[in-house]
Amino acid sequence: MADLHKRAGLIRFGVFELDRKNGELRKRGVRLKLQDLPFRFLAVLLEVPGEIVPREELIGKLWPNGTYVDHEQSVGSAVYAIRQALGDSADSPRFV
């Protein structure tokens, strides 16, 4: 995610802007629909742009100790939702 700009809760990458304070993802100022878990997942990824975040670290940040979730299914669903919102693909990923 080259060309990443962070400022006061806003993270800009490409034509997108993640607003952590208001819980919004925008493309050229237009709000995109993204549920809470994929939003938080994307925010974790944007903390370290260009780096691979280990699955265990993602799980630790997204679900507190003791929370039972099918992590494999949840992670896969979140990645799918993020790719849909960003217009990204698994075959030629630009962001995720």
Structurally, how many domains does the chain consist of? Answer: 1
Q: What is the pTM of this model?
A: 0.83
Examine the pLDDT at 4 and tell me if it is beyond 70.
no
Whether the per-residue pLDDT at 2 is higher than 50: the answer is: no
Asked whether the beta carbons of 46 and 1 are under 8 A apart, the reply is yes
Predicted pLDDT at 1: 44
Asked if the structure places residue 94 within a domain, the reply is: no
Residue 91 lies in a domain: no
- Residue 92: inside a domain: no
Q: Which domain holds residue 40?
A: 4-86
Q: Is residue 36 part of a domain?
A: yes
Q: Is residue 45 part of a domain?
A: yes
pLDDT of residue 3: 52
Query: Which residues on adjacent β-strands are paired with residue 5?
Result: 12
Q: What is the CATH number of the domain that holds 17?
A: 1.10.10.10
- Reported as a single tens digit per residue, the pLDDT across 19-73 is 999 999 999 999 999 999 999 999 999 988 889 899 888 888 888 776 777 777 8
